[in-house]
Structure 1
Amino acid sequence: MDFELKTMSLAAARTERCDLLVLLVGEGFEPAQDALSALAALALKQGDLKTGAASMLQCYAPPTVTARRVVLLGSGQGTAAELRKAALALAPLLKAGKTLKRAAFIFAQAPAPEALGALVRSLAQASYVYTTTKGKGRAEPRTLARVTVGVPQAAALRAAFDAAVAVVAGVEFAREWANRPANHATPTLLGEAARSLARQGTIRCKLHGPEQVAKLGMGAFMAVAQGSAEPLRFIELHYQGAARSQAPVVLVGKGITFDAGGISIKPAAGMDEMKFDMGGAASVLGTFRALAELKPKINVVGLIPSCENLPGGKAVKPGDVVTSMSGQTIEVLNTDAEGRLVLCDALEYARRFKPAAVVDLATLTGACVIALGGVRSGLFANDEELAARLQAAGEAALDPCWRMPLDEDYAEGLKSAFADVANVAGREAGAVTAAKFLQRFVGAFPWAHLDIAGTAWKSGAAKGATGRPVGLLVHYLLGLAESAPRAQRRK
């Protein structure tokens, strides 16, 4: 879907050629001398429209307005959260039929940059439709192809608009790959998706197969993959927007393209949703897709250990001891705690880049879903500045996270009589003990772990990937890129 930002008055909006015209009416609305203002003022006066977010009044072919359909949509005080609520309320209308190809959204009052960004991102979310594996003629694809956003002064909002459009591209790339069934998103195919990003020009991609991974000594990663006939892939992406001397941020995404649990097999009910267990990998890919659009002055490395976790004659067994790339041995007490096994080798690999920071993201634990539900991702960090930046980025992107503890006492349950560490502790504080396991492989660099098990996808009637936390990551990276020149000037 294409987005366009234009300077547009309400008088000019009257003649905008589109299938749907949406006028955003917030608190303090003051009508001008034009047809749309008169329509909104009358609706407010009669009580048929409220200025509260998502209050809606639909009109068909109103006189003197070119658009066939007009919606008056309340936007409250114009906050980002209210604009998101208003946009999502339009989801049924945006997916209603094949005749809706072009829409225009007009602000009666100038929006704040963050509110404009929220509207753009939410419109894409509300109109998204997955069709890749549906039969020909049976799918109803998104028909909305172009959205024009009209504001009183476009120049002042261009940067926020461009960032939002890039996030949309990244989120939709992530949603597409996370939504694909596991036989349409194997580690090999995920590697090809990463390779496709290299066509953007600013991104390099390197794919490591089983032989290369074996030479690297990634014994924990290989142990997870050995139960599947699908060959593993270790995906390495590089975005260079700054001088080579600038230390990169490394993003590590868990890429388990299907997780049956291995020998510690999961219950059958809901196992189909384990195709979403590569949500971390999808978000890394989506973030690089956004970086290719925005070209910020920052260096970023993406690492994705990708494989399937299946039971089989060659599968790793409970009680087996494997040797990680770091040399630490791991007793595999539960083969369904495989995400931390693939991530620990990727975290060790990340050290070679001497990173400014490392952020791993993974659909890691059901315990985090119990703790935080589907609202906030769990955030664990060994560095206060990194944690604060990620939290602020999440709030700005409406993609929030919540800081969780990393007390050393939580590591007690990971002790093993037969290896340096066990891959699971007890049931208590499962999200925290998983993070403590990963922390053993981090070293001294600033590190954060985002447990997105509750936020990467939705179940039930709305089943599907969310593309989170692409928004959070992009806002975090843009913030770093903006702060770097200021830091240089202070030196």
Structure 2
Amino acid sequence: MNFSLNSNAITSTKADCLVVALPEKGDWPASTTEADSALGGLISTLQKAGDVTGKNAETTLIPLSDQPWNRLLVVGTGNDTDRNSAGFRKALTAVMGALKEGPSKSVLIAITDTKVTGDDSVSSELAKLSLIGRTLEDQLYLFSDFKSEKPTARKLNKVLVSVSDAGKTEKEAFNLGLATGRGMNLTRDLGNTPPNVCHPIWLAEQATKLAADHECIKTEILDEKQMKKLGMNSLLAVGQGSTQPPRLIVMEYRGGKAEAKPHVLVGKGITFDSGGISLKPGAGMDEMKYDMGGSAAVFGAMQVLAETQPKINVVAVIAAAENMPDGHATRPGDIVTTMSGQTVEILNTDAEGRLVLCDALTYVKKFDPTAVIDLATLTGACIVALGHEATGLLANNDQLANELLAAGDRASDKAWRLPLWDEYQSLLDSNFADLANIGGRSAGTITAACFLSRFTKEYNWAHLDIAGTAWHSGQAKGSSGRPVPLLVDYLMSHAGK
């Protein structure tokens, strides 16, 4: 697909389809007025007749003749309330939904002059360009690797985005959006790959491939012997019931000053979660291939860094294992000694994510991080609390938490902070070990983070519970690519500092 910016007048730019935005009421964007004038008042006539209403995300495709464009696509942008960042993204998604399987080979999208209200984060043309680029890649995503019959190739192969100026700054914003979309799509590819293919060794191979494709990425893979030597008995315990051995995957991007402390991303990489001896119900268990969604998002963010090469140092660590039940599997009641030296009583083998993460969070101290962010599809309790709209956020540092919340708002990839109070810590008390790996039914997302906090006392740390946001169920089943936009926005906000 060929994506580019176009600063020429829309009336002098040929394309199979022109896309313009129409509000329900109020002033039109200049590009819509320009198109209406060139078409002899066609849009005005259709609006007066009620054929186009301007309702948010409503699209109308109109054939044309004797014009630079063969078709006109009018997308509604609603009223002032609808034209916030979420509403603008909804309209963009509707545009691509109308175009991606259609007859047009080339498209001119002239909606960057749409007024976005209620959210300063997407009010500028640069921010809108970044969101447009991301949405283009996101909405054109298709996963058909395991289909015996490949889908018919789309006719659409060229997208022009109309801008007032196509200078360096505008191109950088647009390209960052495109790169973020591609990072999301890598995340989705990894998540959608079936677990008989995507196991810890395969995931490690993808890290090696990423390093081979991008010289700025350095990768190291630790096997069971190396992890055993380091004392990662908790991580190893999770994988000991599987024929697929665990791996610790380390990727480094060093784009900042040599002395600058890195930002560290830690991803939960459970490539399939049966629950172990504490076996999950069979219904919906196929979706437990998405339990490596945290690691997949880390891969996506690292690819964006590799493509855009900002001035920042980032280390990614992925704790990869498969949680299966067999004669060697960890039992409820087993006690393991973590890399930190703390002992854990495993009361439920289905609370395995925190067991792999705790050793990874101990390991990353070696990098002397400025901040550590872990990402994990950790608790069903987070879905109960926040549904599928917001990622759960808990942190031991207010500034870090606020920065992540702000990044999520700017990127339309929202998070919501939950408390991490000392009062919850006693729920993890064990009669036989330093702590238990579950805290009962109450405050499940919080007690999971409390568990992780025992291993993060020496640095600034935040935990993102993406159990409700990493994938979609039902007819739209598939990885979402979240929270790559949040991560990218956060990291880019620190680039060069």
* Shared fold, TM over 0.5: yes
Instruction: Find the counterpart in structure 1 of residue 117 from structure 2.
Output: none
Aligned CA distance change for structure 1 residues 264 and 124 (closer, same or farther; 3 Å): same
1:108 Cα offset (Å): 7.1
Instruction: Find the counterpart in structure 2 of residue 149 from structure 1.
Output: 161
Instruction: Find the counterpart in structure 2 of residue 12 from structure 1.
Output: 12
Instruction: Find the counterpart in structure 2 of residue 103 from structure 1.
Output: 107
1:219 Cα offset (Å): 0.3
Q: Which is worse superposed, 285-294 or 108-117?
A: 108-117
Unaligned runs of 5+ in 1: 485-491
Cα deviations by residue, 1:381-425 (Å, 9 ceiling, x for unpaired): 111110111000000000000010001111111111111110001
For 1:398, which of 404, 409, 412 is the aligned residue? 412
Cα deviations by residue, 1:350-390 (Å, 9 ceiling, x for unpaired): 10000000000000000000000000000001111101110
Instruction: Give the distance between the partners of 2:40 and 2:388, measured in 1 at CA.
Output: 39
Instruction: Find the counterpart in structure 1 of residue 93 from structure 2.
Output: 88
**Contact 1:95/1:127 (<8 A) preserved:** yes
For 1:131, which of 144, 169, 184 is the aligned residue? 144
Tell me, yes or no, if structure 1 residue 314 matches structure 2 residue 314. no
**Contact 1:234/1:303 (<8 A) preserved:** yes
Cα deviations by residue, 1:6-62 (Å, 9 ceiling, x for unpaired): 21322123x23x4x33223345115237525733333233332233421322112x0
Instruction: Find the counterpart in structure 2 of residue 25 from structure 1.
Output: 22
AA in 2 matched with 1:373: G
AA in 2 matched with 1:157: E
Instruction: Find the counterpart in structure 1 of residue 72 from structure 2.
Output: 70
**Contact 1:8/1:106 (<8 A) preserved:** no
Aligned CA distance change for structure 1 residues 37 and 192 (closer, same or farther; 3 Å): farther
Instruction: Give the distance between the partners of 1:329 and 1:313, measured in 2 at CA.
Output: 23
Instruction: Give the distance between the partners of 2:266 and 2:112, measured in 1 at CA.
Output: 42
For 2:306, which of 273, 292, 306 is the aligned residue? 292
**Contact 1:80/1:116 (<8 A) preserved:** no
Tell me, yes or no, if structure 1 residue 324 matches structure 2 residue 324. no
Instruction: Give the distance between the partners of 1:275 and 1:227, measured in 2 at CA.
Output: 17
Cα deviations by residue, 1:141-186 (Å, 9 ceiling, x for unpaired): 6654432211222335333212211111110110110011111211
AA in 2 matched with 1:151: V
Instruction: Find the counterpart in structure 2 of residue 442 from structure 1.
Output: 456
Instruction: Find the counterpart in structure 1 of residue 121 from structure 2.
Output: none
Aligned CA distance change for structure 1 residues 140 and 268 (closer, same or farther; 3 Å): farther
Tell me, yes or no, if structure 1 residue 181 matches structure 2 residue 185. no
AA in 1 matched with 2:53: K
**Contact 1:7/1:153 (<8 A) preserved:** yes
**Contact 2:425/2:447 (<8 A) preserved:** yes
For 1:59, which of 44, 53, 62 is the aligned residue? 62
Instruction: Give the distance between the partners of 1:186 and 1:140, measured in 2 at CA.
Output: 30
Instruction: Give the distance between the partners of 2:152 and 2:339, measured in 1 at CA.
Output: 47
1:319-358 counterparts in 2 under 5 A?
319-358=333-372
Instruction: Give the distance between the partners of 2:161 and 2:112, measured in 1 at CA.
Output: 11
**Contact 1:255/1:279 (<8 A) preserved:** yes
Instruction: Give the distance between the partners of 1:343 and 1:142, measured in 2 at CA.
Output: 41
**Contact 1:25/1:108 (<8 A) preserved:** no
SS of the residue 1:58 aligns to: strand
AA in 2 matched with 1:130: F
1:114 Cα offset (Å): 2.3
1:78-477 counterparts in 2 under 5 A?
79-96=84-101, 99-107=103-111, 109=113, 112-135=125-148, 137-140=149-152, 144-155=156-167, 157-198=170-211, 199-477=213-491
**Contact 1:80/1:119 (<8 A) preserved:** no
1:349 Cα offset (Å): 0.5
Instruction: Give the distance between the partners of 1:143 and 1:340, measured in 2 at CA.
Output: 46
Aligned CA distance change for structure 1 residues 148 and 367 (closer, same or farther; 3 Å): same
SS of the residue 1:444 aligns to: coil
User: Sequence identity, in percent?
Assistant: 45
Count how many residue pairs are aligned between Structure 1 and Structure 2: 477
Q: TM-score, normalised by structure 1?
A: 0.93
Instruction: Find the counterpart in structure 2 of residue 489 from structure 1.
Output: none
Tell me, yes or no, if structure 1 residue 38 matches structure 2 residue 41. yes
**Contact 2:232/2:359 (<8 A) preserved:** yes
**Contact 2:420/2:449 (<8 A) preserved:** yes
Aligned CA distance change for structure 1 residues 32 and 141 (closer, same or farther; 3 Å): closer
1:129 Cα offset (Å): 1.5
1:101 Cα offset (Å): 4.3
Instruction: Give the distance between the partners of 1:251 and 1:263, measured in 2 at CA.
Output: 30
Instruction: Give the distance between the partners of 1:446 and 1:51, measured in 2 at CA.
Output: 47
Instruction: Give the distance between the partners of 1:8 and 1:187, measured in 2 at CA.
Output: 50
Instruction: Find the counterpart in structure 2 of residue 49 from structure 1.
Output: 52
AA in 2 matched with 1:131: S
SS of the residue 1:409 aligns to: helix
Instruction: Give the distance between the partners of 1:314 and 1:37, measured in 2 at CA.
Output: 76
Q: Which is worse superposed, 451-460 or 41-50?
A: 41-50
Instruction: Give the distance between the partners of 2:104 and 2:219, measured in 1 at CA.
Output: 38
Instruction: Give the distance between the partners of 1:408 and 1:108, measured in 2 at CA.
Output: 47
1:426 Cα offset (Å): 0.6
Unaligned runs of 5+ in 2: 115-123
Q: Which is worse superposed, 349-358 or 154-163?
A: 154-163
Instruction: Give the distance between the partners of 2:443 and 2:160, measured in 1 at CA.
Output: 47
